[in-house]
């Protein structure tokens, strides 16, 4: 409970003044105002009754996903189970990009008496990534603002903003092929991914579905089926999450989208490797269509953690799933063992040579 002391003192002074006027002059008019004040006080006391339920607040975006620069609508839904004629709700929204630490604040006031009411605000986010819209303060006030009570346990809303296609295209084959080595020389590559190319001993990390149970029962060791791989899995793009600002993040993911589209347009699939903060390990996602790329980028918005390229190299060496390893990085180190494939807005893809 919170009480505005200054307003309460003013209210008491006015109440005493009306009683004084009632005793000496214009009794009917003053009596009306005194009764109105008493009714107001009675309604304000309702805020603190244990059986009186406070309004419920839920936050959400009308469109779950959007592109950078597109309009979207943020909705604050108020639900009031009790009828309360003199309520006013103050809400302070805190808005920030996920990689930022400081909030920007918007203060609003809403009225609701009973039922459900949606209140909307229009937003336009310039950078891609995840924006958090949290309710940093929510209080229900009486009509005069003398008494208030905090509303808590309000879940924040997330706005997922996808990168735009910056139109950057390049020759994917030239990027991923060496002078003397063809990316399609994978001995397990083939057009039919259900075809068994080889039988081998079980290794840590193999799926149970790969185990050849009939042969394994005749042997002391587990036998694993090695299926054909799509040719495109011979390419790995490692994302190191080296951006530091929302503008750098936007450039970073625009390049990732550009790279992915260029590969897919040339019918070349690839693996996307990044360090997942929630799993505390590098993870790999196979990208064979634009939908998978979009879902993976959203997953990265929430989980991507900045790491050194050696961490991703270790995962690549451990998995052994590709012949060509590329990096998407914001680091502009002059390393003779790496070359920049293209650069725009501070982001670059570098390829091992």
- 211 with 257, same domain: the answer is no
Q: Are 326 and 235 in contact (CB under 8 A)?
A: yes
Q: Are 195 and 227 in contact (CB under 8 A)?
A: yes
Read off the pTM. Answer: 0.69
Token code pair at residue 229: 């791989």
Q: Domain for residue 5, yes or no?
A: no
Residue 311: which pLDDT band, with cuts at 50, 70 and 90?
Answer: confident
Of 123-127, 144-148, 249-253, minimum mean pLDDT range = 144-148
- 263 with 181, same domain: the answer is yes
pLDDT digits (tens, 9 = 90+) for 14-29: 667 666 666 666 666 6
Structural domain boundaries, residue 311: 172-193+230-352
- 188 with 302, same domain: the answer is yes
Mean pLDDT computed over 277-300: 90
- 179 with 287, same domain: the answer is yes
Does pLDDT of 264 surpass 90? no
Residue at which a domain ends, from 227, 245, 270: 227
pLDDT digits (tens, 9 = 90+) for 52-109: 678 889 999 998 888 888 899 999 999 887 766 656 789 999 999 999 989 999 999 8
Mean pLDDT computed over 260-268: 82
Distance from first CA to last CA of the chain, Å, rounded?
66
Helix H or strand E segment including 344 = strand 338-344
Phi, psi of 280 (to 5 degrees): 55, 40
Which has more pLDDT, 161 or 351?
161
- Find the CATH number of the domain harbouring 146: 2.60.40.10
- 90 with 145, same domain: the answer is yes
Q: Domain for residue 2, yes or no?
A: no
DSSP structural state of residue 233: G
């Amino acid at each position: 409970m919170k009480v505005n002391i200054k307003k309460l003192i003013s209210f008491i002074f006015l109440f005493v003044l009306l009683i004084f006027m009632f005793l000496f002059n214009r009794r009917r008019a003053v009596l009306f105002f005194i009764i109105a004040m008493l009714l107001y006080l009675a309604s304000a006391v309702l805020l603190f009754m244990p059986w009186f339920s406070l309004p419920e607040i839920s936050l959400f975006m009308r469109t779950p996903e959007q592109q950078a620069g597109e309009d979207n609508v943020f909705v604050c839904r108020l639900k009031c189970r009790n009828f309360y004629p003199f309520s006013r709700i103050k809400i302070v929204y805190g808005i920030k990009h996920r990689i930022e630490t400081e909030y920007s604040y918007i203060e609003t006031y809403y009225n609701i008496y009973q039922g459900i009411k949606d209140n909307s605000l229009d937003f336009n986010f310039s950078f891609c990534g995840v924006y958090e819209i949290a309710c940093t303060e929510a209080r229900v006030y009486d009509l005069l603002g003398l008494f208030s009570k905090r509303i808590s346990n309000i879940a924040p809303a997330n706005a997922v903003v996808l990168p735009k296609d910056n139109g950057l295209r390049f020759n994917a084959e030239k990027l991923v092929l060496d002078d003397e080595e063809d990316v399609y020389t994978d001995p397990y590559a083939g057009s039919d991914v259900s075809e068994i190319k080889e039988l081998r001993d079980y290794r840590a990390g193999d799926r149970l579905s790969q185990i050849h149970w009939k042969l394994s029962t005749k042997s002391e060791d587990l036998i694993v089926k090695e299926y054909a791989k799509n040719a495109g899995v011979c390419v790995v793009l490692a994302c190191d999450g080296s951006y530091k600002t929302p503008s750098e993040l936007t450039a970073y993911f625009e390049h990732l989208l550009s790279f992915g589209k260029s590969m897919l347009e040339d019918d070349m699939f690839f693996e996307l490797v990044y360090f997942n903060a929630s799993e505390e390990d590098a993870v790999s996602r196979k990208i064979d269509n634009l939908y998978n790329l979009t879902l993976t980028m959203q997953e990265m918005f929430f989980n991507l953690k900045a790491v050194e390229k050696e961490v991703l190299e270790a995962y690549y060496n451990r998995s052994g799933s590709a012949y060509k390893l590329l990096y998407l990085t914001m680091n502009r180190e002059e390393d003779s063992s790496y070359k920049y494939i293209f650069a725009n807005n501070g982001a670059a893809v570098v390829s091992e040579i």
